[in-house]
Copies of this chain bind each other. A is one copy, B any other.
Amino acid sequence: MTGGTERMWADDAASRMLGMRLVEQSAGHAVVSMVVRDDMLNGYGICHGGLVAALADSAFALACNSHGVVTVASGFDVSFLEPGRPGDELVAAAREVSSRGRSGIYDVTVRRAADHVVLAEFRGRSRALR
């Protein structure tokens, strides 16, 4: 892992509570997976959109902190294309798109592991702290 994110990830209780697993990470890049559990379903029996976003947000955090500077999310946009079903393994791959000064844009694509179908497209806005 890069940029001192080992400790950030080790301390990330929320990602652990949601069963997330770090698949890989390099500078400006990270892949995180999560299996949709029954306690992650919303009232329509599909994965709660906020938890799909949380998975993408964790991948985003690992990617944008990979440069060795403490960096926080100022916000993000997510579009949902397909629902996550119970038992699905979701894989979120984050990549740096652009940066300027202390601001950065990172895109995260969330796919279903079984068939690589895209479930969500997430775009994060980061801000490096001094």
Which residue numbers of A lie inside 8 Å of B, CB to CB? 5, 7-17, 38-45, 47-51, 53-58, 61, 70, 72-82, 97-100, 103, 105, 107, 109, 118, 121, 123, 125
Contacts and interface: CB of A to CB of B under 8 A. Distances in A.
Given A14-B39, A50-B54, A80 B70 contact: no
B50 A55 contact: yes
B118 A43 contact: no
A51 B54 contact: yes
30 contacts: A5-B43, A7-B43, A8-B44, A11-B41, A11-B42, A12-B41, A12-B42, A14-B50, A42-B61, A44-B72, A48-B54, A49-B54, A49-B57, A49-B76, A50-B55, A50-B58, A51-B54, A53-B54, A53-B57, A53-B76, A54-B54, A72-B80, A77-B123, A79-B105, A81-B99, A81-B103, A98-B109, A105-B121, A107-B107, A123-B123
Nearest to A111: B98
Contacts of A41: 11-14
Contacts of A56: 50
A38 B53 CA distance: 20
